[in-house]
Each structure stands twice: as C-alpha cells, then as structure tokens.
C-alpha cells in the first residue's frame, strides 16, 4: 500500500553499462513515457554509480551515459516534462545509499538473486559495490520519496528490498518518513529473453551481440538477428496456453505483442498456425518500423553531446531541489548534527 500522505512521484533508472536494448525499451522506457504522459511527476536517471559496480572503461561510460540520455529523449522522455539526470551529479543518492547500507541486513542482501546471477562462482572477487547495489537502488528511489517505480520483472526483488528498508527505517526511528513504494511491472514484455537462449534475460552485457536487439541497430541487423533467433520446429499456436514450455516462441510473440500494443491472444489469433519462416519477417518489419525512428533521433541527438550535457546539468539542479531537503531531514531524524 502506498502511504497516503505522499504525493505520487515516479522514479526509475537504467545503467549506462552498454547500449540500450529492446529489453530495456519494452520492459522499462515505454512505460516511463506513458507515466510521464499521465501527468505524474517523473524523475528518470542514468545510474552511472551502479554501472561502475563492474569495470567500465571511462570513455565508454561517458559515451554510454550520453547515448542512454539520447535514447530516453528519442523514446519520448521530455526534459521539459520529466527530470532527467545522471546519478553521480546528484550526490544525495550516494549519501542516502550509505545510510541504507546501515539499515539493510546482511541476510536480506545475501538473498538477492541478481547478485548471485551476476557474481556467479566468482563471488569473492566481485566488488563490494555489486553486493551493496540494492541499498543504493533503494536510496535512488527514496531520496525522491518516489511512490511508483516502473521496472522490468527482474527488478521485483530489489523493489521488495526497498520496501523493507523504508519500513525498517520508519520503524527504527519511529517516523513515517519514507513511502512504501509500489513497483509498476506491466505489459506483455516485462521480461524480454535472449534471442539465443529463451531461459536467459536479454541483457546489454551479454557477450553475444546476436542475443539482443540494440536500440542503435540498423534495419538489416535487426532483420538478421530475428531471422537467426533460436526457435523450435513447431508452428505457432492459436492461444497463449500453447506457448507454455516453448520459451523462445513465447519470447518472440511477447515482443510482437508489446511492439504492436496488442495482447498475446490477439497476436496469436492472427498468426496462429504460421511457421517461424513466415512469422519472423513480420516481426522484423514491425521491430524496424518501431525502432528506426528512435535510433535515427538518437543519432541526431548524439551529434550534439554538449546539448545532452546541458540537459543533464539542468536536471541535476531540479533534482537537488527535491533530494537535498529529504537528505537533510533524514540526517536530522538520525541525530546527525547539522
């Protein structure tokens, strides 16, 4: 339940740890734009401090941050309607992140499946930051008193942790200061899967470029990746139930449904019975028609990086009008002498 006295405010972020993927677009950005247009106060962030939890080449990080900002704007995030920032320009994120590292319990953090997936067998050698990531993510959200957070399915557990941190802080200090945030996980493509392996999430850091569609891919590359996407030999079913146990088929149909803004059943009513040889070119055509205008606009914006930097600097000033008083009040509640 959202605590009633908090004004509705939306926050979400994406890591500039590589180029934007179709997964980020369908799972997150498309919903960001809708929430902006619904008239809620919206704050969207390039979470560069999260990106450096794994090694980032400095030149790549700067390029990816600007490209991500261009991707947000080209997808419909307006710097006039939303606050658009990169995390490291708003220091209160990291400051509250430290406070929440002291609120979160080791046992909670050790349950985080994304850490286990990302660290794999290498847990002793990954950074401390990768382990602490969810506490900083809670701070990203709560430093705005955000009430709604649109994300893909993979972030559900981190949002539950955010609620636990807010609840524990409020309880420990006997206050009702941080809201209990609502995750917004909606749409046909809240978990877009790899084109090479239907059991793995499509990810910008997957070593195989063929596993994902990048928002900067041209029409030929998109068509080729979809043509080569892993499938099974059966025809498409006529109803969603027929996609059970067919992860690759389900993934392509979900992508079609999300791009065409139809339900999976409506898509299957049209394409049920088709072989992939017939369906894939239709999916490629749809993907190109939806993504090309965005990638063209990204290229135009990237030609003027100075303008992107100005937008992010202005966003940081607007953001700090919200975050500085919330951090000051947090410190006051905790007894820090000001």
Q: What residues are labeled active site?
A: 118, 201, 204
For the beta carbon of residue 266, count every other beta carbon within 10 angstroms: 11
Burial classification of residue 186, based on how many CB atoms lie within 10 Å of its CB (0-12 exposed, 13-18 middle, 19 or more buried): exposed
From the CB of 277, what's the least distance to ligand AQP, in Å?
25
Q: Are strands 41-46 and 9-14 parallel, antiparallel or unpaired?
A: parallel
Binding mask 121-160 for ligand AQP (x = CB under 6 A): ------------------------------xx-xx-----
The one among 63, 81, 111, 191 contacting ligand AQP by CB under 6 A: 191
Pair of tokens at residue 147:
């009430």
Of 190-198, 214-222, 283-291, 294-302, the segment contacting ligand AQP by CB under 6 A is: 190-198
CA 81 to chain centre: 19
187 binds ligand AQP (CB under 6 A): no
Q: What gap in Å lies between CA 137 and CA 172, rounded to an integer?
A: 20
Q: What gap in Å lies between CA 14 and CA 16, rounded to an integer?
A: 7
Binding mask 204-243 for ligand AQP (x = CB under 6 A): xx--------------------------------------
The one among 9, 201, 225, 280 contacting ligand AQP by CB under 6 A: 201
Closest to 164 (Cα-Cα) out of 187, 141, 184, 194:
141
Q: What gap in Å lies between CA 219 and CA 213, rounded to an integer?
A: 11
DSSP state of 56: -
Q: What gap in Å lies between CA 120 and CA 259, rounded to an integer?
A: 33
The one among 10, 11, 19, 21 contacting ligand AQP by CB under 6 A: 21
The one among 42, 162, 203, 214 contacting ligand AQP by CB under 6 A: 203
Size of the site for ligand AQP (CB under 6 A): 21
Q: Which residues of 35-67 are buried (b: 16+ CB within 10 A; e: fewer)?
A: bbeeeebbbbbbbbbbbbbeebeeeebbebbbb
Closest to 199 (Cα-Cα) out of 256, 251, 266:
251
The one among 10, 24, 133, 139 contacting ligand AQP by CB under 6 A: 24
202 binds ligand AQP (CB under 6 A): yes
From the CB of 193, what's the least distance to ligand AQP, in Å?
7
Report the DSSP beta bridge partners of residue 85: 45
From the CB of 159, what's the least distance to ligand AQP, in Å?
10
DSSP state of 29: I
From the CB of 189, what's the least distance to ligand AQP, in Å?
6
From the CB of 212, what's the least distance to ligand AQP, in Å?
8
From the CB of 50, what's the least distance to ligand AQP, in Å?
7
31 binds ligand AQP (CB under 6 A): no
Q: Using CB under 6 A as the criterion, which residues of the chain lie in contact with ligand AQP when the complex forms?
A: 14-15, 17-18, 21, 23-24, 27-28, 151-152, 154-155, 190-192, 201-205
């Amino acid at each position: 339940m959202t605590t009633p006295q908090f004004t509705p405010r939306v926050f979400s972020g994406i890591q500039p740890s590589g180029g934007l993927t179709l997964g980020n677009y369908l799972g997150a950005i498309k919903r960001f734009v809708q929430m902006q247009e619904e008239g809620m106060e919206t704050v969207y962030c390039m979470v560069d401090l999260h990106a450096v939890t794994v090694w980032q080449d400095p030149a790549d990080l700067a390029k990816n941050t600007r490209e991500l900002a261009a991707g947000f704007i080209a997808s419909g995030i307006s710097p006039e309607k939303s606050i658009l920032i990169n995390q490291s320009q708003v220091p209160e994120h990291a400051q509250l992140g430290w406070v929440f590292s002291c609120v979160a319990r080791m046992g909670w953090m050790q349950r985080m499946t994304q850490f286990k997936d990302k660290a794999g067998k290498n847990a002793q050698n990954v950074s401390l930051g990768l382990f602490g990531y969810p506490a900083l993510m809670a701070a990203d959200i709560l430093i705005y008193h955000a009430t709604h957070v649109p994300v893909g399915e993979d972030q559900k557990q981190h949002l539950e942790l955010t609620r636990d941190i807010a609840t524990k802080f409020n309880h420990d200090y006997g206050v009702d200061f941080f809201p209990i945030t609502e995750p917004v996980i909606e749409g046909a493509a809240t978990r877009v899967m790899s084109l090479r392996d239907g059991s793995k999430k499509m990810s910008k850091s997957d070593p195989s470029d063929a596993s994902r569609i990048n928002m900067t891919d041209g029409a030929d590359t998109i068509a080729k990746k979809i043509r080569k996407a892993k499938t099974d030999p059966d025809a498409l079913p006529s109803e969603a139930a027929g996609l059970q146990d067919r992860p690759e088929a389900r993934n392509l149909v979900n992508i079609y449904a999300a791009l065409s803004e139809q339900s999976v059943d409506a898509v299957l009513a049209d394409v049920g019975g088709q072989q992939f040889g017939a369906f894939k070119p239709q999916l490629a055509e749809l993907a190109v028609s939806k993504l090309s205008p965005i990638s063209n606009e990204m290229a135009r914006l990237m030609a003027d990086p100075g303008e992107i930097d100005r937008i992010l600097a202005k966003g940081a000033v607007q953001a700090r009008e919200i975050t500085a008083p919330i951090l000051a009040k947090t410190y006051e509640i905790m007894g820090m002498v000001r």
